Every structure is written in C-alpha cells, then in structure tokens.
Structure 1
C-alpha cells in the first residue's frame, strides 16, 4: 500500500474530539496490529488530561498530529515530545498513536521521524528516549528497525493499578539524534 499523504502540525484544542478516541482505540482496542488491551485496563489517557496537554502543555512539551493535507481536521495519528528535566540532552517520546484505519501506510514512521526532528531542532536534544512495555516484543522490534536501541534499562510501569499482568515494566530505548 502506498504511503498516505500527511501534514504534521502541532495539536490544537479543536483536535480533542478526534484525538481522544483515536488514542484510546489505538492503545486499548484489538483493532490495531499492536495494542495493550490485554496488558493494561481503562483509557490510555482521560479527556481532561489530554486537554491539559494541548491547551496548557508543560514547558518544552508538544503533541504533533498527522492530518490530511487537504483537511486538517482529519487526523490520522499523534505523538508527544517532552523534555526530560533530569537528562539535559534527552527528549521523551510518547503518546504515540496511529488510527487503525491507516496503519501500515507510513504514518507512524513519518510521525516518529517528525518527533525526532522536533526534539533535535526545536528542543536542542541529542537523544530520543522511548518507554515501551517490555513484553511488547513486536513494538520493540519496530522501534529498533527505526534506529532505536534497547538500553537494557527497565523501569517500573507508572500505573501499576492499571496493569493486567504482574510486575509490568518498561524497556527503555534510545536513539541518537545527531
């Protein structure tokens, strides 16, 4: 399937009604090639939290969306880039979601590249960092094909009350941006 034409731009408050279900479907539905529905319960992000991230984001944090070049209200995916205050040269990439209807059409690769470019060019970071649930081998492999490296570091899952498996952990992946 040929790559889908997209325009990458910062998320707007008007995107909330589309982004919120897109994110939660991507993470918690069995419709996607990779998801967490058997690992984590409840929403990936509540509407109020997403609204705050878009309307009053923390310093040096943004959400980018992939939209249709001809209709910016048609959103195909999103990704968040945030400065890591304790690691001066690193940016955290998360809240990465692509609509199940356009997966395998290059949207994810282009969003991830846009996030890395943003971290390097706008935030001045030298390393991109990802936290992926360690049992999600298919996703870890996908990021490695994109140039990320598993560091061997593990961090406890930040929402243990939502975990459906015991002692869930994140694998930490990094990619040099220079």
Structure 2
C-alpha cells in the first residue's frame, strides 16, 4: 500500500525539488518507496532525527517543514526498531500547518489497539493484513477521498475501468480505481 501511495501520489503531486520527510527509524517498507519516488521525480528526501530517548525530534521536524517545500511526511505510528509510539496527531497538525500531507505506516501499531484514523487526522494510513493475523500479500490503505481521486491509477485493466474505448479510458471511483485485474471471487 505504501508503494501504491508513493507511486500514485508522487505522479500526481510531486515535482522536482519538492521534499518528502521520513524518520531515521523507519522500516525499509516506509523508506525505500520514498527513496525510489524521489529519485524518479527529482524530489528531495529529508530525514527527521529522533532524540536520545528514541522519540521523534519534533523541533527538527518543525525545522524541516519550514522549507515550505515538503509535500508529504511518512512515518510509522509505532517504531519497529524501538517500539516508540509517535505522536501522530501532533505530527499531522505540524505537517498540515505547512501544507504537507501525512502517510502513517500502521503495521506495528494496528495489532496493539484500536486506531481511529479520523481522530489522528492522517491523510493515509497503511498496514499489512498479516499484522492482524490476515493473509500475507494483502494490505490495507485508508486515504482521504479527495487525495485518492486526484491520484492516477497504479496499474490498468479489469474492474478498475469505468469505460474503455480505443482512444482512452475512464476509471472507477476509489478504491476500485486502484484494483486492476480480476477481483477475488
């Protein structure tokens, strides 16, 4: 799901010299997609430090956001390295004050209690189904409808099509617009 957002959000909203922020303790699943997207789009990846106690350095985050070129902050809800639970609502508030969106990697947190994405204010919240004892290879993505509508499809074909002609196609509304191929039947 993070790969889908990195690719589709990147194509829709990221221009050369725009910035993406990650933290220095991200799982590679929430680091590598942003590295790849930044390389493809000519964007700049910034890394927010953590304190000596393993907490996100919110002063450093504020400093990074002050460039006013940040389009997205991607961070884990709970660190897989230290178990630190990041103050997502505070991160979202800071990011939104500077016009940046926030993707939260919920893979470590989702099994430890209820997650209210609306209360968190997250623009995107993603996790793998196997983290809640579901099947492997399946992911869950919450995204704000207006952002999902503005993102191009990731792959093409199947049930993601609203209408197809030889000279073009129109796509289903989210979430189906991101579900290429034959659905599970």
Q: Structures share a fold, TM > 0.5?
A: no
Decide which structure has greater strand share: 1
**Rg (Cα) greater in structure:** 2
TM-score of the pair, normalised by structure 1: 0.29
